[in-house]
Structure 1
Amino acid sequence: MPPLLPCVETLSLVDHHCHSVVDGDLDRSEFESLLTEAEAPGPLGGTLFDSAIGFAVRRWCAPVLDLPPHASPEDYLARRADLGAAEVNRRFLQAAGAEALCLDTGFAPGAVLPLAEMGALAGATAHEIVRLEQVAEEVAAVGPGAAGFAEAFRERLRERTASAVGLKSIAAYRVGLALPGERPGDAEVTAAAGRWLASIEAGAAPRLADPTLQSFLVWCGVDRGLPIQFHVGYGDADVDLHRCDPLLLTDLIRAVEPTGTPIMLLHNYPFHRHAGYLAQVFPHVFVDVGLATHNVGHRAPALIAETLELAPYGKFLFSSDAFGLAELYHLGSLLFRQGLSDHLRTGLDDGVWTEEDAARIARLAGGENARRVYGLEQR
């Protein structure tokens, strides 16, 4: 890869969407399971080290562990085990070079580090993103009854977001993104809550997957006025990808626009051009390429360039969407820097912008956009 432009290399990033990392040592199968969005990498497919992200780990993560680039998977995992989880996490979180983390605390299947410890290890300020579905499931566990669900949710959301900087919706995983533009009425919410709570009482898992309730959660988030992140596109096998195109959110985006509540479209691959369009035509819509960046490995520069064909530079944010492996923080940062630098260098070579313009664009994407949208300077 070509050297980074100085204005990109020195950026102190704001990671506007990320998760915690595991705090214990991992064997090979556990490590590889965190390299993929699949529930488990099956033996018929071979090893995840034979993929774009696997080669990225060997090339770019090995030196952080004092190994040569392209170290074998066996040597890499042995060195990782020798150092131990605490040191591995510290090295990669520090290497990412983020000054602030906006951490989604709603996904923690296992032993992961708490918010404050993540910030301390990264040398960054850590802010919380509250997942709407998690709050609803907390409320359901208390048993408010169908008639009391809506108000109980609003009250719990106010409590949970007292110091949060944003909200997150995983409607894409639960019902798809074709959410209506209309706010559901009280009777509709009560009826839907009744069906959901009854299913829980009958022994079903408290997994909220009702379109009316998903819409209700989002509108409660709009009322809070905090930026609302939406998972879009690429994810694990629990999503139906054809229902995760951000264009399906158009009615909702249009309805939310008068409120001014920012809509943050996360990841977006393979719909990143669609997301760029929405960011261009709606003033309150913002985009990143999130977890796709490290998953496509050396193709990250092409992904970033395609997203920026339409997305205004004031609407594009950095996100690692790292989860589980601290390596993903480092890869997300490194590949984002490389992609942004390549894009800016091409513009400089073609006379599209000046060096001063390029430096300003780098600052916007690297952190200024996130600080403005999430109000981080006031935190």
Structure 2
Amino acid sequence: MSGPVQEALDALELVDHHCHGVVTADLGADRFASLLTEGEAWPGVSPFDSPVGLAVRRHCAPLLDLPRHAPAEEYLARRSELGWREVHRRFLAAAGTGVFCVDTGYAPDGLTTPAELAGTAGGTAYEVVRLEGVAEAVAAKGVDPDEYGAVFRATAQEAVRRPGVVGVKSVAAYRTGFDLDPARPSDADVTEAARHWLARGGRLDDPVLVRHLLWTAVDLGLPLQLHTGFGDNDIRLHRVDPTHLTDWLHLTAGTIPVLLLHCWPYQRQAAYLAAVFEHVYLDVGLTLHYVGPGRARAIVEEALEITPFRKVLYSSDAYGVAEFYCLGALAFRQGLAGLLQDRVDADELSLSDALRFAEWAGAHNARRVYRFSGTS
């Protein structure tokens, strides 16, 4: 694909509004395979023999000085030969991303910090605070049930005042799904729910406390990222359709930006919400590197059927392996450029509008939502 829209997107320094760190160690074959999939590395089923695995071999291999479609064994050997620091440098440079909003709430693998990620990429990093992690830290320190609500709120307020924090995130999709009572729970309800959860322990998965967390996010005043759709097998997919949030979105109208992450297979439902609620935005990150650049356009096109161009953002949701930064950026640039260029060629869109919309989606919409330093 070539043309002025593709050229403009290729030159655009992206803002990745939702991502994670990468593993600071050389990865063996099994560990790399496990990071390449949202499922598991099953015996006899290689993640390299999947759409994302094929995309790695096609688009990432040349960045390691290998031929396109290099066999998995050669790819892994070359990756080990170069070492993780050089691998990170090459893929982050290829991504062409200047700003990273890093979710620091899930890091079991010894990941790069936001500062380390930005340093490797030669960019700027900000932090997104995962609120379930805040709640679970409060529980781990010990708190009385009748004090839980106030302590969680105060701890969350302290967390978002850290330098560089630009937003918060919830993984309610993994814990309860979205078919929740939309109303703000009472203090008495929070205390009773906390009594049961604190006695039981474990992850925050109580519906009342998840509702309390979402309403606390509103009170914090920062943009709220919500995982929706595709994820690992903790997800109950029918419960993470973002339209389950409709009543809550009515109640929170006029408050904070709500950013629907990933969305597949509900990108059309997310598009509907972005079209009818002023404070709703979406991306199709994570999805794009799993379907690969060859199918990225179809996903982006469905997400943009009715979404206002001011409402779509770019994210990679890269985690663990730096290849995902490269693949996410490539798939986004090619998918968006292809559909915009075709509309220009069909005289359904002016070139100046297409270039403006591309810049909005790739960078400026995120700058407006998160209000980075120097952005109006």
**Conserved? CA contact 1:317–1:365, under 8 Å:** yes
After TM superposition, give the deviation of residue 181 of structure 1 in Å. 2.1
Q: Can you list the C-alpha shifts for 1:320-361, whole angstroms capped at 9, x where unaligned?
A: 000000000000000000001101111111111111111100
Q: Indicate the residue corresponding to 1:139 in structure 2.
A: 138
Q: Indicate the residue corresponding to 1:214 in structure 2.
A: 210
Letter of the 2:358 partner, please give it.
Answer: A
Q: Indicate the residue corresponding to 2:83 in structure 1.
A: 84
Aligned-pair identity in percent equals: 51
**Conserved? CA contact 2:57–2:69, under 8 Å:** yes
**Conserved? CA contact 2:6–2:333, under 8 Å:** no
Letter of the 1:53 partner, please give it.
Answer: V
Q: Indicate the residue corresponding to 2:282 in structure 1.
A: 287
CA distance in 2: counterparts of 1:293 and 1:110, whole angstroms? 23
Q: Indicate the residue corresponding to 2:105 in structure 1.
A: 106
**Conserved? CA contact 2:254–2:279, under 8 Å:** no
After TM superposition, give the deviation of residue 94 of structure 1 in Å. 1.6
**Conserved? CA contact 2:21–2:320, under 8 Å:** yes
Unaligned runs of 5+ in 1: 201-205
Q: Can you list the C-alpha shifts for 1:176-195, whole angstroms capped at 9, x where unaligned?
A: 01132210000000111111
Q: From 270, 275, 291, give the equivalent of 2:270.
A: 275
Other structure's SS at 1:111 match: coil
Q: From 343, 346, 355, give the equivalent of 2:339.
A: 343
Q: Is residue 178 from structure 1 mapped to residue 179 from structure 2 by the alignment?
A: yes
Q: Is residue 190 from structure 1 mapped to residue 185 from structure 2 by the alignment?
A: no
After TM superposition, give the deviation of residue 253 of structure 1 in Å. 1.0
* Residue pairs, 1:225-304, within 5 angstroms: 225-259=221-255, 261-297=256-292, 298-304=294-300
**Conserved? CA contact 1:179–1:251, under 8 Å:** no
Unaligned runs of 5+ in 2: none
**Conserved? CA contact 1:181–1:254, under 8 Å:** no
After TM superposition, give the deviation of residue 58 of structure 1 in Å. 0.6
Q: Which runs of 4+ in 1 moved over 6 A?
A: none
After TM superposition, give the deviation of residue 69 of structure 1 in Å. 1.2
Other structure's SS at 1:194 match: helix
TM-score of the two chains, using structure 2 as the length reference: 0.97
Letter of the 1:264 partner, please give it.
Answer: L
Letter of the 1:324 partner, please give it.
Answer: G
Other structure's SS at 1:321 match: coil
After TM superposition, give the deviation of residue 91 of structure 1 in Å. 1.1
CA distance in 2: counterparts of 1:272 and 1:249, whole angstroms? 14
Letter of the 1:291 partner, please give it.
Answer: L
Q: Is residue 36 from structure 1 mapped to residue 37 from structure 2 by the alignment?
A: yes
Q: Indicate the residue corresponding to 1:57 in structure 2.
A: 56
**Conserved? CA contact 2:109–2:320, under 8 Å:** no
What number of residue pairs does the alignment pair up? 371
**Conserved? CA contact 2:262–2:285, under 8 Å:** yes
CA distance in 2: counterparts of 1:169 and 1:378, whole angstroms? 27
CA distance in 2: counterparts of 1:161 and 1:377, whole angstroms? 16
After TM superposition, give the deviation of residue 25 of structure 1 in Å. 0.8
TM-score of the two chains, using structure 1 as the length reference: 0.96
Letter of the 2:122 partner, please give it.
Answer: G
Letter of the 1:183 partner, please give it.
Answer: R
**Conserved? CA contact 1:20–1:103, under 8 Å:** yes
After TM superposition, give the deviation of residue 258 of structure 1 in Å. 2.9
CA distance in 1: counterparts of 2:144 and 2:374, whole angstroms? 38
After TM superposition, give the deviation of residue 109 of structure 1 in Å. 1.1
Other structure's SS at 1:5 match: helix
Q: Can you list the C-alpha shifts for 1:24-78, whole angstroms capped at 9, x where unaligned?
A: 111111111111101x22114x211111101100111011111111111111111
Please give the root-mean-square deviation of Cα atoms over the aligned residues, in Å.
1.1
Letter of the 2:94 partner, please give it.
Answer: A
* Residue pairs, 1:357-372, within 5 angstroms: 357-372=353-368
Other structure's SS at 1:43 match: coil
